[in-house]
Structure 1
Amino acid sequence: MHILVLDKRKKPLMPCHPARARELLREGRARVHRIVPFTIRLVDRLQADSVLQPLRLKLDPGSKTTGLALAREKETVDPTTGEVLRTLTILMLLELKHRGHAIRDALTSRSALRRRRRGNLRYRPARFDNRTKPEGWLAPSLQHRVDTTLAWVKRLMRWAPVTALSQELVRFDMQQMQNPEISGTEYQQGTLAGYEVREYLLEKWGRECVYCRAQHTPLEIDHIHPRSKGGSDRVNNLTVSCHDCNQRKGNRPLEQFLAKAPERAEKILKQAKARLNDAAAVNSTRWTLFQRLKATGLDVEVASGGRTKWNRIRLGLPKAHCIDAACVGHLDAIKNWQQPVLSIKATGRGSYQRTRLTKYGFPRGVLTRSKSAFGFQTGDMVKAVVTRGKKAGAWLGRVAIRVSGSFNIQTATGLVQGIHHRFCTLIQRADGYSYSWTKIASTQGDAGLGRSQTAALSLPGLNPGVSRATG
């Protein structure tokens, strides 16, 4: 993983190799600016005196985890075909874990407690709801996802000379998927288009065989109404099934194949006409994030999730949020992806509550007004070197303070309780996130794609599904 570098006026320079960073620190030409992610600041150089290469920051927004990849891109022209080839060299991989579920649960609990206090415990006259939501309003749990992702994009733009952005804008290319339902089969014939349809069907049908409910097995695309009897290639006429069920069904209509289970057949027909609402909800936040990214003024490349998966499987890369981010958009080759991943978890900055609550919503006890004790604050990254006692050893992690001076430290391996404050040394102030290092799993491939789906990978690559927008 490369080291972020700033000039003496805190302007971003090109990231360097860890060995080069150690050399600069040893020679006294640099100072430690930040611990996580590790950033150094040069004391003898300005940005105007340096040569900067184009860096691209790629994003794969998710409901729980957003993948980010900072990469140096190089474009070359194939002398035989004249096609522009893009090669990415990964400099940093990050995974941002959101706390939207915690926000949702907190708001739900608060709403229930308020409703009980106002309705059941004391009478309050009814009133009409005269509050309206502004245009583009998102629920707090969804708005948090947009805000935290944009916050880290701006952080990385301050620490590295980012010149372009790439975002997976939609999970599925809905517009192009609806086109063959109306006009014809042009979209169905493309390799990338096939991945859009397959990924959409796997998500819609829960990645299991619709006939026998088999999971974790290769699935094949099946026509509900057979093509040999007039069935079309429309998405609402397609489903997924295991190989055995697909062979048993053959060219029989669904009603005939499930004659002994008419309820099941009716449910499949009803689900085939239903839309994928979850994908639409996720896409709404991605569009909001897209508008915010355009406001940065950088060139924004957007692509669909089908192309991301196509790139990842074509290059033989394992499944991970950060790897998906690296595979967003136009990509022909990728280097240096086998490196540690910085896992960032949104923890918040504390609570405004002045008391604890009972299960009925009444106050219990009083919390301290000050958020700091003995120069430390909950969330600070500290290093504790305990010289004696049962807790003897060196501990590095996120601290939780107490006014008594006995702290808890959340390390990478677990929670260490009862560390006295005099053993603690501040490493980095709390910024609302906790950090840890992870490794990318070595397993490759995706469950749910049968041979009929993966066979298309050997065909030449196509370029639809990618567009650019300049803010």
Structure 2
Amino acid sequence: MCKVFVIDTNKRPLNPIHSAQARQLLRSKKAAIYRRFPFTLILKESCPDVPVAPLRLKLDPGAKTTGIALVNDATGEVVFAAELKHRGFAIRDALISRRQLRRGRRNRKTRYRKPRFLNRTRPPGWLAPSLMSRVHNVETWVNRLRKFAPITAISTELVKFDMQLMRNPEIEGKEYQQGTLAGYETREYLLEKWNRQCAYCAVKDVPLQIEHIHPCSKGGSNSITNLTLSCEKCNIKKGTKDIKDFLKKDPTTLQKILAQAKKALADAAAVNATRYKLLEVLKATGLPVECGSGGLTKFNRTRQQLIKTHWIDAACVGKSTPTLNIKGIKPLLITANGHGNRQMCGTDKFGFPSRHRTNKQIHFGFQTGDIIKAVVTSGKKVGEYVGRVLCRATGSFDIASKTGRISGISHKYCSAIHKKDGYSYAF
């Protein structure tokens, strides 16, 4: 299990402690709970200056999930681990929906609207909101962990390795494109796109070959949209047949392959677009930043015979990776949900107003999304309930607990455990 963060009376981070020590401090009332996620204690009495072991924050950025790990370089112990799930694709879909609704409303108006597309300039280094949300999520958690742990260095995975460039640093131009390892990037791209399995029989963990969906002998090109992966058996069996003839008895697989071939690798594009922006944000912290490659991360992980997960990949980032001790580590699963919707007027699917929202979010000291504890002492719903609250101006709240939804709980019985911060948590 991850260790518990501790801060002193001046809110300076101390060495993380074992959960048993944390329970002992709470029982003896020498410490109080400062924060639930990540679980942090604050000491009630000042303690003499004790040596604090420096920790390294390691990141494995991803399009959907970013791995986070805190590692002690001296001992190799993983002190804390988390997996941060982004909401970039949800933001993209919300912006597309908003754009469609606005366009529909404007087209219903007959008056002339002066075009405005030429007077909107974007600053240098601009990224789409769906991409910047990933950077902001990581930045938020880097700053948050720095408050609770003695972090002195950061490691992050910046790029995938380029073996051709490593073999010959002076290589360039046409020689770079057609060198001894020409096609390496294409193979890596196809492995990611087709989930490292045969497109025809879905077999895994076997040598895969690059296969032309439409054969070159019948006019097929070498475009990336015409390439897939197949095992040797399927490749030989297909030969120079057209894919429609080869899979005429399996139309489901045929449609799946044709759709996947045209689909772009959005995850890889998102990571590539944000990696240097994230590096810029990390350097702004003032801590030394170590950049690693995907190849080095995989080497560190396989050398220590560790399974592939996001947080383990994060712990294996960079040359500074020691022999890791991950015994008993259970990562904190963090999901970015955002802070709600600023839209005051809700619309139906046609773009017409259908509901209205109030601009007041806080009622009786609570807002929707807070994790609360309600101890009901009278009435039909006597009991103790813990969960996220749905607030109303009337003071009658709903609580979403593990056992289900409990409605009609008065605010008088509620006390806050964890204020809404735009994230949800699980183990």
TM range (shorter): 0.7 to 0.9
Compared with structure 1, are the counterparts of its residues 63 and 415 closer, same or farther at alpha carbon in structure 2 (3 Å cutoff)? farther
Map 1:132-211 onto structure 2 (within 5 A).
132-171=121-160, 173=162, 176=165, 182-184=178-180, 199-209=188-198
Distance in 1, matches of 2:192 and 2:30, equals 53
AA aligned opposite 1:423:
Y
Distance in 2, matches of 1:221 and 1:392, equals 62
Compared with structure 1, are the counterparts of its residues 313 and 415 closer, same or farther at alpha carbon in structure 2 (3 Å cutoff)? farther
Check if 1:102 corresponds to 2:102: no
Compared with structure 1, are the counterparts of its residues 171 and 413 closer, same or farther at alpha carbon in structure 2 (3 Å cutoff)? farther
Give the structure 2 partner of residue 81 of structure 1.
Answer: none
The 8 Å contact of residues 221 and 239 in structure 1, kept in 2 or not, is answered as no
The 8 Å contact of residues 199 and 306 in structure 1, kept in 2 or not, is answered as no
Where 2:209 maps in the other structure, the secondary structure is: strand
Check if 1:125 corresponds to 2:121: no
Give the structure 2 partner of residue 328 of structure 1.
Answer: 317
Give the structure 1 partner of residue 9 of structure 2.
Answer: 8
AA aligned opposite 2:268:
A
AA aligned opposite 2:420:
A
Distance in 2, matches of 1:372 and 1:98, equals 26
Distance in 1, matches of 2:195 and 2:63, equals 17
Where 1:119 maps in the other structure, the secondary structure is: helix
1:112 to 94, 97, 100: 100
CA deviation after TM superposition for structure 1 residue 216, in Å: 4.4
Give the structure 2 partner of residue 260 of structure 1.
Answer: 241
Moved more, 304-313 or 54-63: 304-313
Compared with structure 1, are the counterparts of its residues 433 and 260 closer, same or farther at alpha carbon in structure 2 (3 Å cutoff)? closer
Where 1:88 maps in the other structure, the secondary structure is: coil
Compared with structure 1, are the counterparts of its residues 222 and 348 closer, same or farther at alpha carbon in structure 2 (3 Å cutoff)? closer
Give the structure 2 partner of residue 307 of structure 1.
Answer: 296
Moved more, 333-342 or 89-98: 333-342
Give the structure 1 partner of residue 24 of structure 2.
Answer: 23
Compared with structure 1, are the counterparts of its residues 396 and 262 closer, same or farther at alpha carbon in structure 2 (3 Å cutoff)? closer
The 8 Å contact of residues 335 and 424 in structure 2, kept in 1 or not, is answered as yes
Give the structure 1 partner of residue 66 of structure 2.
Answer: 66
CA deviation after TM superposition for structure 1 residue 9, in Å: 0.9
Moved more, 323-332 or 8-17: 323-332
CA deviation after TM superposition for structure 1 residue 30, in Å: 2.3
Gaps of 5+ in 2: 213-223, 247-256
AA aligned opposite 1:340:
K
Where 2:131 maps in the other structure, the secondary structure is: helix
CA deviation after TM superposition for structure 1 residue 205, in Å: 4.2
Compared with structure 1, are the counterparts of its residues 361 and 64 closer, same or farther at alpha carbon in structure 2 (3 Å cutoff)? same
AA aligned opposite 1:435:
Y
The 8 Å contact of residues 6 and 41 in structure 1, kept in 2 or not, is answered as yes
The 8 Å contact of residues 219 and 240 in structure 1, kept in 2 or not, is answered as no
In the alignment of these two chains, the number of paired residues is 395
1:405-430, Cα deviation, whole Å (9 max, x unpaired): 33232335654444333332211222
AA aligned opposite 1:91:
V
The 8 Å contact of residues 201 and 234 in structure 2, kept in 1 or not, is answered as no
TM-score, normalised via structure 2 length: 0.80
Give the structure 2 partner of residue 92 of structure 1.
Answer: 80
Where 2:126 maps in the other structure, the secondary structure is: coil
Map 1:40-439 onto structure 2 (within 5 A).
40-45=41-46, 49-74=49-74, 88-130=76-118, 131-171=120-160, 173=162, 176=165, 182-184=178-180, 199-209=188-198, 213-222=200-209, 240-245=229-234, 248=236, 258-261=239-242, 279-330=268-319, 331-386=321-376, 393-412=383-402, 414-437=404-427
CA deviation after TM superposition for structure 1 residue 434, in Å: 1.8
Distance in 2, matches of 1:215 and 1:343, equals 30
AA aligned opposite 2:337:
T
AA aligned opposite 2:60:
D
AA aligned opposite 2:62:
G
Distance in 2, matches of 1:115 and 1:224, equals 43
Gaps of 5+ in 1: 75-86, 189-193, 226-235, 250-256, 438-471
CA RMSD, Structure 1 to Structure 2 (Å): 3.6
Where 2:72 maps in the other structure, the secondary structure is: strand
Distance in 2, matches of 1:391 and 1:310, equals 56
Percent same amino acid among aligned pairs? 49
